[in-house]
Structure 1
C-alpha cells in the first residue's frame, strides 16, 4: 500500500555526522498526487523547504535551507518510506549536499 505524506509531521530519529537536523527539527509535509513538499525548521535550521516526487513509496527531492548562522545550504535526497510496528511512517533519507561538495549521509525520520 502506498504511503501518503499529506499533513504528516516528522522529526529526525537518527542523523548523519555531518547533518544539521535533529529531533528538534520539525518537518511538515504536504502531498498532492505524486508531488511532495515540506517546510521545516529547528535545531540549526532557521527555515527550510523541500520539493519532490513520490513513486511506490520512494521519495526524491531537492532541499534548500537557511541555517541560524545565515549559511544557505542545498542538496538532493532519495528516500525509502515504510511503517514501524506502531504504524508510524519511517523515512530513511540518503542526502548529498550540493553546497558542500563530497558530503553526504543518511538520516532517519519518524512520524510524530
Structure 2
C-alpha cells in the first residue's frame, strides 16, 4: 500500500473544462484509519469537500463543490493511489457526476516538495 495521504496537497495535471477542477485547484488531503477527506478550492471551484474510504490503494469517495458561478455540483469518484518514482503520490481517478450528467477520468499529483 502506498503511503498515507495525511497532510498531502495535490493538484490536477490537466484542466477538466469550465466548472470543473483544473490545474489551479488544490486538494488538501487527510487520512485516518481507512477514512479519507479533503478540502479543495481554486480555479472555477470556490470551495469543495470530499469524504470517503480507503482500502489498500483504492479510494472511494463522494464530493460536493460550490463554483464561481454560484452553482453546486456533487458526484462519486473511485481513485487508485500510485507512488511515483520520485516518492510523490498520484491519484488516478474515475468520476461521475450525481447532480447532473457526465463522467470522466482525471489525474491529480502531489505538488513537488
The SS at the match of 2:13 is: strand
Distance 1:106 1:17 in 2: 12
What is the CA distance between 1:96 and its match in structure 2?
Answer: 0.1
Pairing 1:57-68 to 2, within 5 Å after superposition: 57-68=57-68
Determine whether 1:94 maps to 2:89: no
Distance 2:81 2:54 in 1: 10
**Partner residue, 2:105:** 106
What is the CA distance between 1:61 and its match in structure 2?
Answer: 0.2
Distance 2:62 2:98 in 1: 10
TM-score between the two structures when normalised by the length of structure 1: 0.93
The answer for unaligned runs of 5 or more in structure 1 is none
Tell me if the contact between 2:2 and 2:83 (Cα under 8 Å) persists in the aligned partners. no
Alpha carbon RMSD of aligned pairs, Å? Answer: 1.4
The answer for unaligned runs of 5 or more in structure 2 is none
Distance 1:100 1:3 in 2: 34
The SS at the match of 2:23 is: coil
Pairing 1:40-79 to 2, within 5 Å after superposition: 40-79=40-79
Tell me if the contact between 1:15 and 1:106 (Cα under 8 Å) persists in the aligned partners. no
The higher relative CO (CA closer than 8 Å, separation ≥ 6) is in: 1
What is the CA distance between 1:99 and its match in structure 2?
Answer: 1.0
Determine whether 1:83 maps to 2:76: no
Cα 1:18/1:57, change in 2 over 3 Å:
farther
TM-score between the two structures when normalised by the length of structure 2: 0.92
